[in-house]
Amino acid sequence: MFKKMLAFILSTVLFLSLVPVQAEASFPPVAKEDIKVGAIFIGPKDDGFTGAHYNGVEGMKEALGLNDDQILYKFNVPENNETDIALRELIDAGCQIIFGNSWGYMDFMMEIADEYPEVIFSHCSGYKNNGVNFNNYFGRIYQSRYLAGIAAGLKTQTNLIGYVAAWPDNAEVNGGINAYALGIQSVNPEAKVYVKYINSWGNPSLEKQTAVALLDLGCDVIGQHVDSAMPQVAAQEAGKFGNGYNTDMTSVAPDAHLTAPIWNWSSVYTAQVQAVIDGVWEPVNYFLGLKENMVDISPLSKNVAEGTQEKIDEARTKIVSGEWDVFTGPLFNNAGEQVLAENETFADGDITGGLMTTLLVDGVEVK
Amino acid sequence: MSERAIRPIQFHVVQRGETTPLQTWLYRLAAVGLAIVMGGLFLWVLGYNPFLVYAAMLKGALGSAGMQKETIKLMIPLCLTALGVTLAFKMRFWNIGAEGQICAGAIAASYFAYFHNGMPRTLLLVVMAVSAIIFGGLWGLIPAYFKTRFGTNETLFTLMLNYIIGYVITYLREGPWRNPEGGFAAMPRFVKEARLPEVWFPGVGNIHIGWIVMFIMVLGIFFYLRHTKQGYEIAVVGENEATARYAGMPVGKIIMRTMFLSAGLCGLVGMLQVSGPDRQLTDAVANGRGFTAVSVAWLARLSPAGILVVSFLFSVMEKGCSMMQTEFRIPASMSEILQGVILFCVLGAEFFISYRVVRRKEKA
């Protein structure tokens, strides 16, 4: 009896091992003319954040030679059941892959992904993955912020740099502040970063007031993680300097702007849609950086201090080559406790969430 | 040049006498027609074929069972909220706070969904619904109390309360109710037991149980306003407070009671939204429905059956406009303008039903 059982078990194991494992996670190739790409975006196409995504999808369209009618956009989609409605419309319209660009879409997309296993759902800024047809993508924008910080650290005279930040206790926001501060300190160990949170992703008048308040505290360079260019306008009006965000804000504040961390979403959109066309899309999370050209900084303006380009190039080379990254120990928080030992680095999970959610590094003060 | 030609043309507005129902409906029909033509012109100027766009709108709202389902899901909160504000409007109490009352109900329901979700499913859902009605109702009772006690202006009061409760949701999201997972602030998804069951809607498919609540409430509010003593009291207070007082009605009590019911119904909408389609508490739980419901209630002339029809048409328009965006790449703001044009015409017609414009006669 036992032998029979053993034989049965062994033969079952043998049989199962012959079945290709990857079958469950693969999608058939799609002819380029037949592909339809859906995108649900939190804002209108001309705001900073969604605008960068829109340019990214349009860039993908150009790169792959798709037609206008192969890309279906939904703008201003709120994070409630209308997310669900928008997704279903896009599924109904025959999209093979649907992108979403706001944190609050993640769980809606993940749940609907179970319902439609033949459609691919790809969400920006989150961390979940269902191993079948739902993944996340995001960029190492902190690398760009580090480079922008170098420009700020070399420019400041007062050694005080202001930062108009969106939300407290947010890993993306705090990660940005920390990287910016580390970039500043890499060239100017004396400098401090004063942070004010405005509790909004974008509110032009509040952004400006906050920048003015930081300037009043003695800051002479203003960094930002909010949507509009108003902090840069405030810096210009005060005769001071700043680092924008999302787009090259030099045109808005020609005498103040140094350089801005910018997104280049088309690289990740192109890579994923190409993978769908080729039938090789896999449910892996994308977290690309300077190396893959997913993030960058806008061209340095005439306002930067002498030697900025060299310092930035030096840091860029180290990051792109992979020999070093921004969050490498020793690293201390602003309470003086060591968070990373010598040469220790953060796991990606502690950059997109986890520890970064509440971390502020040494030299950062919330005002 | 004659003297007559330079005299300015003068108009004045006079109230109509009795308008027959036929006239009323002709005006409304004309308004809808005008809205469609104006909207069409607007689309044509933008370079789209209006016929194709309108066809896509209809298809997007009603073209398949899936689309119909989403349209009905939009209609449920709109219809119920309009019924809620109608109770207050009948009494001439201008409850512009439905938006906040939805949020209040949603918060109360979510509290049980997040922190006391161990009880059996039916019990949990009932507790969520009852707490939403009570908390929404209490939120609405605040302006009612101040109105009856101190004569404050309820329009401003209810409006301002919307902002407060909206920020309460933001506070909960950023702080005590925040989902500890992940780097961004958001509240967690509801457990399965805290989600509304789905019931088969004839010809369309499974929709959360809110649609049954909607039909029951349409009948219930109709009956309440038409055939109960309390409904009669509301009508009298609305017509003339002095009369009501003279007739010995406790006006203050009627206002408070009615406002509690009005806001409680809006609170129930909050529960149905978080537990039904949203499946979590978000700051977009009301998302303007509380204001749209005011237009719906007025266009329906505060009639429950009318509200059912108008909220359906509004939802068709909203869903259709969303589809128009997908199919023709018409920007979202353009579809909002189109919705605005349509609303403008239809609401404008209500003016012409009650008033007419006459050219001032020349003096001899």
Report residue B320's pLDDT band, with 50, 70 and 90 as the boundaries. confident
pLDDT for residue B261 is more than 50: yes
Residue type at position B95:
N
In this structure, chain A runs to a length of 367
Euclidean distance between the first and the last CA atom of chain A, given in angstroms as a whole number: 76
Phi, psi at residue A46, to the nearest 5°?
-110, 15
A-chain CB neighbours of B282 within 8 Å are 78-80, 104
Among B73, B185, B333, the residue with its CB nearest the CB of A170 is: B185
Please identify which residue in the block is written with the tokens 């194991």: A13
Strands (E), A159-300: 160-165, 192-197, 221-225, 241-243, 261-263, 286-288, 295-297
Residue A1: pLDDT over 70? no
Name which of A74, A84, A175 is nearest B326 (Cβ-Cβ). A74
0.90 cut: is pTM over it? no
Question: What was the pLDDT predicted at B28?
Answer: 81
What percent of chain B clears pLDDT 70, i.e. is strictly above it? 95
pLDDT in tens, A257-304: 999 999 999 999 999 999 999 999 999 999 999 999 999 999 999 999
Rg for chain A, CA atoms, rounded? 23
Q: Does residue A209 carry a pLDDT above 70?
A: yes
* Residues 236-265 in A contacting B (C-alpha not used; CB under 8 Å): none
Instruction: Say yes or no for a CB contact (<8 Å) between A82 and B287.
Output: yes
| Range B246-272 average pLDDT | 95
Residues from chain A contacting residue B323 (CB–CB below 8 Å): 89
**Confidence (pLDDT) at A179:** 97
Within an 8 Å CB–CB cutoff, is residue B276 touching chain A? yes
How far is the alpha carbon of B328 from chain A, nearest alpha carbon, in Å?
Answer: 8
Other beta carbons within 10 Å of A360: 19
Residues B333, B339, B342, B347: is their CA dihedral positive or negative? negative
Q: Confidence band (pLDDT; 50, 70, 90) for A11?
A: low
Domain spanning A142-260+298-366: CATH superfamily = Response regulator (3.40.50.2300)
In the structure, what pLDDT confidence band is assigned to residue B175 with cuts at 50, 70 and 90? confident
Give the lowest-confidence range in A3-12, A181-190, A208-217: A3-12
Tell me: pLDDT of A132 over 60.
yes
A168 contact B CB<8A: yes
User: Does the pLDDT of residue B361 top 70, yes or no?
Assistant: no
Contact B332 A126 (CB under 8 A): no
Greater pLDDT, B298 or A154: A154
**What pLDDT score was predicted for residue A21?**
42
pLDDT interval class at B35 (50, 70, 90): confident
Q: Which of A58-67, A131-140, B153-162, B337-346 has the lowest mean pLDDT?
A: B337-346
User: Count of H helices and E strands in chain A?
Assistant: 11, 15
Q: Omega into B8 within 30° of 0, i.e. cis?
A: no
A66-122 per-position pLDDT tens digit = 999 899 999 889 888 889 989 998 998 899 999 999 988 999 999 999 999 999 999
A362 is written with which tokens? 């040494």
Per-position DSSP letters for A11-28, written without gaps between them: HHHHHHHHS-GGGGG---
Q: Which helix (H) or strand (E) holds A136?
A: strand A134-139
Task: Over range B52-61, report the average pLDDT.
Answer: 88
Instruction: Count the helices and strands in chain B (H runs, E runs).
Output: 14, 4
**Alpha carbons A291 and A143: distance in angstroms, whole number:** 10
Query: How many Å is the Cα radius of gyration of chain B?
Result: 23
Position B224 confidence tier, pLDDT thresholds 50, 70, 90: very high
Whether chain B has a CB inside 8 Å of the CB on A46: the answer is: no
CB contact under 8 A, B326 and A353: no
Q: Please indicate if any CB of chain B lies within 8 Å of the CB of A111.
A: yes
| pLDDT of the residue at B258 | 96
Task: Tell me whether B64 touches chain A (CB under 8 Å).
Answer: yes
Buried b / exposed e across B289-314, counting CB within 10 Å, b at 16+? bbbbbbbbbbbbebbbebbbebbbbb
Q: Is B284's CB within 8 Å of A103's CB?
A: no
What's residue A8's pLDDT? 53
Domain boundaries, chain A: 33-139+265-288, 142-260+298-366
Q: Kindly state the average pLDDT of the residues A234-245.
A: 96
Question: Could you tell me if the ipTM is greater than 0.90?
Answer: no
Contact partners, residue A58, CB within 8 Å, separation at least 6: A71, A266
Q: What is the pLDDT of residue A2?
A: 54
Q: Is A329 on the interface with B (CB under 8 A)?
A: no
Q: What is the mean pLDDT of chain B?
A: 89
List the CATH code of the domain at A33-139+265-288: 3.40.50.2300
The b-or-e profile of A135-149 (16+ CB within 10 A means b, else e) is: bbbbbbbbbbbbbbb
Q: How far is A38 from chain B (nearest CA, A)?
A: 9
Beta-bridged to residue B243, according to DSSP, are none
Q: Name the band, by pLDDT with cuts 50, 70 and 90, for residue B332.
A: low
Contacts of B276 in chain A (CB under 8 A): 81
In this predicted structure, what is the pLDDT of residue A16? 45
Place B364 in a pLDDT band, splitting at 50, 70 and 90: very low
